[in-house]
Amino acid sequence: MFDIVPASWYAPAFFNMVLLLTGMKCTLLRKTNKGIFLFLFFFVIVLFGTRPLTFVYFGDTEVYAAMYQFIGSTSLAELNWDKDWLFDLLMYLFNQLGLSVHIFFLFVASVYVGCSAWACKRLFGSSAYLAFLFVVGSFSFYGYGVNGIRNGMAAALTLLAFSYLKTNRWIALILSFVIIQIHGSMLLPVCAAWLSLFYKNTKFYLYCWLFSIVLSVSIGGALETYFASLNMVDDERFSSYLLNKNFSDQFSSTGFRWDFLLYSVMPIWLGWYVIIKRKIYNDQYLLLLHTYLLSNAFWIMLIRASFSNRFAYLSWFMYPIVLAYPLLILPVWRCNRRKIVIILMAHYMFTYLMWLIGKL
């Protein structure tokens, strides 16, 4: 599409198409809809991968395009091998092969959408299309497909790694290494997942999450300064996001983000209901929920920071999977199909509303 289709059409095309397909699936819940699944799969890849190079509608796309051109003029030895080297290496290889930046973006979109769909297939089996709708309709999916593409690519690979943790740990380990070399911040959910694999006390993770709220409310500023001094995620970018207050005017509110916290709590409430109240246990679900709780707890402690949504994404990329898993796999309610329809529509309508009011 490149410059043939106006950049302003991309977001409406995406959000309205997902709305249409979500509505269709909710009325045809019992059918597999493989054809529609494939259509959505390729539609999103082409849409994300062929977007115009403009900052106005696609954020960091223009920055990545400039990086792509710059890396093409450097040598292999001049690449930054200290952190996130794999993404830079991919840029370098594509450039050396004489491929355009649009082909590179199409590749990244294929990994982002493809690994998300593959993870859904592995985790949900015959319910993969429903799960994929939860993923595509999530609050962060569009933004990390056209803006924070490196983070999005790493997050999709992380979901795929999680799907292997219970069945093939060697593949999960290799994927974990690849993920961290693409985006170092993913070290947090990756480590949380490996911890969750061996320690399965749900109450412990719930208490950690609740305690993070207490810490953030009481000494949040001190925590931000402390974590910034550690330089544990993204080096100088991490410290800048925590301590730089020059970005405050880009947010509708500052301070403790109760709205973000409220959004994050739905999968946690469902997890409490399923595991603590109903006592329904599933090892894969425990792994996903516990990883989400630890990752979300870390973000809560930094919730006041500029661009705190970037820390939130370290747990939010899991949000649709953690929400969908008990609905589609576990016997939570008697009228489960009706609940699935209600929750899927509510899940996507929140995203759709945020787009309509300009929050996406």
Instruction: Give me the percent of the chain exceeding a pLDDT of 70.
Output: 87
pLDDT at 31: 62
Task: Give CA–CA dist 331/348, Å, rounded.
Answer: 23
Which residue type does 293 have?
Answer: L
In the predicted structure, residue 274 carries a pLDDT above the cut 80: yes
Answer yes or no: are the C-beta atoms of 21 and 40 closer than 8 Å: yes
pLDDT at 325: 97
pLDDT at 239: 45
In the predicted structure, residue 162 carries a pLDDT above the cut 50: yes
**Helical segments of 137-282, H only:** 143-146, 149-164, 169-182, 187-198, 202-230, 236-243, 258-271
Helices 169-182 and 85-96: crossing angle in degrees, nearest 10, is 80
DSSP code, position 120:
H
pLDDT single digits (tens) 85-132:
999 999 999 999 999 999 999 999 999 999 999 999 999 999 999 999
pLDDT single digits (tens) 11-36:
999 999 999 999 988 887 666 678 88
Which residue type does 56 have?
Answer: V
Rg (CA), the chain: 20
pLDDT at 249: 40
Answer yes or no: are the C-beta atoms of 289 and 322 closer than 8 Å: yes
Dig out the tokens for 90 from the structure: 């991919």
pLDDT at 311: 80
In the predicted structure, residue 155 carries a pLDDT above the cut 90: yes
pLDDT at 245: 46
pLDDT single digits (tens) 201-237:
999 999 999 999 999 888 767 777 766 665 555 554 5
pLDDT single digits (tens) 307-341:
666 788 999 999 999 999 999 999 888 777 888 99
The three-state (H, E, C) secondary structure of 61-108, written as one string: HHHHHHHHHHHHCCCHHHCCCCCCHHHHHHHHHHHHCCCCHHHHHHHH
Task: Give CA–CA dist 18/262, Å, rounded.
Answer: 24
pLDDT at 207: 97
Question: Mean pLDDT across the stretch 231-253?
Answer: 47
Comparing 141 with 222, the larger pLDDT belongs to 141
What rounded mean pLDDT belongs to the chain?
Answer: 88
Q: How confident is the model at residue 83 (pLDDT cuts 50, 70, 90)?
A: confident
Q: How confident is the model at residue 8 (pLDDT cuts 50, 70, 90)?
A: very high
CA angle at 147 for the pair 141 and 148, rounded to the nearest 5°: 80
pLDDT at 301: 87
pLDDT at 312: 87
Task: Give CA–CA dist 153/182, Å, rounded.
Answer: 8
In the predicted structure, residue 168 carries a pLDDT above the cut 70: yes
pLDDT at 29: 67
The torsion angles phi and psi of 166, rounded to 5 degrees, stand at -85, -20
Question: Mean pLDDT across the stretch 252-267?
Answer: 79
- pTM of this prediction? 0.92
